[in-house]
Structure 1
Amino acid sequence: MSHEIETMAYAGQTPWHGLGKVLTPNQSLDTWANQSGLDFKIMETPVRFNSGLLGAPEKIQLFSDQKVLYRSDTKAALSVVSNRYQVVQPDEILEFYRDLTERSGFELETAGVMKGGRKLWALAKTGQSFSIKDKDRINGYLLLATACDGSLATTAQFTSVRVVCNNTLAIALSGGKDVVKVPHSTTFEPDLVKKELGISFSAWDNFRYRMTKLAERKLKDQEADAFLRTLFSIPTDHNGRQYMDRTMRQVKSIYEGKGRGAELPSAKGTAFGLLNAVTAFVDHERRAKSVDHRLDSAWFGQGATLKAKALWQTTALI
C-alpha cells in the first residue's frame, strides 16, 4: 500500500486519521520540526539538459527559465518550477504559529510532510468551541498548508472538528475571507496573512449560528433523498444525470444511525446530521488507496470540494 504522508507528529488525542507520532503538549517548535519531519530546507538549482546527440559526447546546457526544487536532507527532487516560483520553507509553516501559540492561546495539534516533501502542513487548535444542544461539541482550528509542486497555493484556512466523530469541515461562510491563499508567484508574508485572517475570526460566530440553525432544521425523508441526489449526481452527455447510487446509500446509512453521533438530538433527522453524514463519509468511509490518501483528499482535494458543496446545499435549506 502506498502512502502520501511521509512523517507527521501530533499532540493530545490520536487524530481522526490515526496517523503520526505522538508528542507531549507544549513542545518547542524545534521539537515539532524534528518529530513532524519539517526539519529540512527546500533547495533549488537551475535546470540543465544534455543536448548531445545519441552517441555523441555529452553537452550540458542551462535552461534558465526553470529550476529544480530538491530536499536538503535526502537530495530527492521535488519538482520543476518557473524561476518566478516563490518557495515557502518547512520552518516557515511552523514559525507562522509561534506568536499564536505563545500569546494568543493557540495550540499546535498536528504537523507533517506529505508526498515526499512536496506538500507540508500544520494544524493548531484556536481555543474556540461551542456545543449544539449541550452534547454536540465543535472545536475550531487553523490549518496552514503549502506545496512546492504547483498543486496548492500557500493556504491558511479556518476549519472545525466535530468531537464526537472527528469529522472535519472548512469554515467557509463569510465570503471566503476565512481562507487566505497566497499564490507562489508572490512572497508569503505571515503577518499580512494573519492580519487578513484577523477579520474573519467573526466567521466563527457566523459558523456557530449556521450550525445551530441546521440542527434545528428537521428534514423529511423526501428532502434528504433530494439532497443526496443533487450532491451525488454527474451530468451526462445528453443533458441527463447519472446518480452515484452506492455512495448515496452509504451516506444515507450514516445519516440514519450508522454514523457516530447520528443519534444525538442535534443530528437525528436534521440538516446538521445530513451534513455530518457527508463529512463522515469523506473523512472515514470513502474508498481510498490508503488512510493518508483519504486525508489528502479530505483537506485539499475532491473530498474537500464535496464537503464544501454539501455545506452550501445544507445552508440553502435554512
Structure 2
Amino acid sequence: MHLVQSMAYVNETPWHGLGNQLVAHQPLEVWAQQAGMNWRIEEAEVRFVSGSAGSSLGSIYSFPDQKVLYRSDTNAPLSVVSSRYQVVQPAEILEFYRDLTEVGGFELETAGVLKEGKKFWALARTGQNTTLKGRDRVNGYLLLATACDGTLATTAQFTSVRVVCNNTLAIALGDGTGAIKVPHRSQFDPQAVKRQLGIAISSWDGFLARMKVLTDCKVKDDAAEAFLRRVLTYSVNPTADGSTSAVNDRAMKVAHELYTGRGKGSDMASASGTAWGLLNSITEYVDHHRRARSGDHRLDAAWFGSGATLKQKAWDEALKLVA
C-alpha cells in the first residue's frame, strides 16, 4: 500500500526515489498537475440512515456538528471533521510559494500528496547554503505541509538537507522559531505565516553557528556510544507503573557503523569523530535505514512522525555535547 499518491520534483532524484521529474522553473500550474495536486477538498454534511439492519430503509438524518471532506476529482472520502474545521486546499500550499519563487529567489524542489490526499506538501530551496569544513555542503529549505485527517496542523518549517547523503533535519531552535503551526480551527493566512517566518530567516544564521560548533566538537569513542544509547533508548510500557526503557540494538549497530565510516560523508573533516558526524549518523539512519514498510512510509515518518521526533532528540543531545 503506497502512502505517496503522487509527487513531482526538479534536480536530483529524491532520496526516496519517487515522483515525476520536471524541468526547473515550471509554473505552479504545471507543478499542480505533475504533483497530483490539481483537485479541491469538497465538504458535505454527515448523514446517516436510521432503522435496523435487514429492515426496509429508515429515515435519513443529518449530523450538523460534523462534515465529510472528500476529493473533487474522485469523490474519495478523506475524513470526517468538526463543522468548525477550516480546510486548506492543495492549491493553497503551492500558491504560498508564488511570490517566494517569482521574486524571493526560492525554487520549488518537490511537492506531492500522501495517503490518498489526506496529507500534502511542497518543499522549496531558500537559496541559503553553507559549506562546512571539508566541502560538506548544507542547503536551506522551506517545507509547507498540511493534512485533513487530524494528523498535522498546517506547518511551515525551515529544514536543511546535507547534500552528500540527502539527510534532512528540521531547523528547530530551542525557542521554536523554525516552525509555524496553524491549527485547523484557525484560518490559514499565508501572508501572516510569511511575516512570522521573516523573523525566522535569522534562524538559519543560528542553525549555521550551531552546525559549525558541532563540526569542531571532537567526541571520544565512549562518549559517542553513550550519545547513541541516549538517543536510541525508548520507553517500554510507558503507561504502566515503573515503566522501563530499552535500547534499540539494531538501530545502535546501524548508527554506529554509519558514524564510524559506513555513512555517506562520515569520512569528511566536518563529520569524522565529531558531534556533527554523530548527529548525521542518526539522520541517515532515520532517512535511509530505519525499518519501514516502504519508501513512502519512511518519508512520512522522517518528516512528520516518529523519525522526525528521533532526529529532534539527536539534535538536542548533540547540542548538550557542546554546551
- The normalised TM-score by structure 1 is 0.98
Question: How do residues 217-256 of structure 1 correspond to structure 2 at under 5 angstroms?
Answer: 217-236=217-236, 238=242, 240-256=244-260
**In 2: Cα distance, 1:246 partner to 1:72 partner:** 44
Question: How do residues 133-282 of structure 1 correspond to structure 2 at under 5 angstroms?
Answer: 133-236=133-236, 238=242, 240-282=244-286
**In 2: Cα distance, 1:146 partner to 1:241 partner:** 33
Check whether the contact 1:88–1:188 (CA below 8 A) recurs between aligned residues.
yes
**In 2: Cα distance, 1:178 partner to 1:219 partner:** 27
Once the two structures are superposed, residues 227-263 of structure 1 have per-residue CA deviations (whole angstroms, 9 ceiling, x without a partner) of 1111111234545431111110110000000011000
In the TM superposition, residue 174 of structure 1 has moved relative to its aligned partner by 4.8
Does residue 21 of the first structure (1) align with residue 25 of the second (2)?
no
Gaps of 5+ in 1: none
Once the two structures are superposed, residues 196-253 of structure 1 have per-residue CA deviations (whole angstroms, 9 ceiling, x without a partner) of 0000111111111101110100000110111111111123454543111111011000
Check whether the contact 1:174–1:203 (CA below 8 A) recurs between aligned residues.
no
In the TM superposition, residue 57 of structure 1 has moved relative to its aligned partner by 2.8
**In 2: Cα distance, 1:179 partner to 1:208 partner:** 16
Once the two structures are superposed, residues 127-153 of structure 1 have per-residue CA deviations (whole angstroms, 9 ceiling, x without a partner) of 000011140000000000000011100
**In 2: Cα distance, 1:27 partner to 1:145 partner:** 20
Give the aligned residue type for 2:167. N
Check whether the contact 2:90–2:120 (CA below 8 A) recurs between aligned residues.
yes
Give the aligned residue type for 1:119. K
Map of 1:78 onto structure 2: 78
**In 1: Cα distance, 2:20 partner to 2:278 partner:** 33
Map of 1:95 onto structure 2: 95
**In 2: Cα distance, 1:70 partner to 1:42 partner:** 6
In the TM superposition, residue 178 of structure 1 has moved relative to its aligned partner by 1.4
Map of 1:57 onto structure 2: 57
Map of 2:288 onto structure 1: 284
Does residue 114 of the first structure (1) align with residue 114 of the second (2)?
yes
In the TM superposition, residue 56 of structure 1 has moved relative to its aligned partner by 3.3
Give the aligned residue type for 1:99. D
Identity %: 59
In the TM superposition, residue 59 of structure 1 has moved relative to its aligned partner by 1.1
Check whether the contact 2:49–2:57 (CA below 8 A) recurs between aligned residues.
no
Check whether the contact 1:36–1:111 (CA below 8 A) recurs between aligned residues.
yes
3-state DSSP class of the match of 1:168? strand
**In 2: Cα distance, 1:190 partner to 1:50 partner:** 40
Gaps of 5+ in 2: none
3-state DSSP class of the match of 1:294? helix
3-state DSSP class of the match of 1:200? helix
What is the RMSD computed on CA atoms of the aligned residues? Answer: 1.0
Size of the aligned set, in residue pairs, is: 317
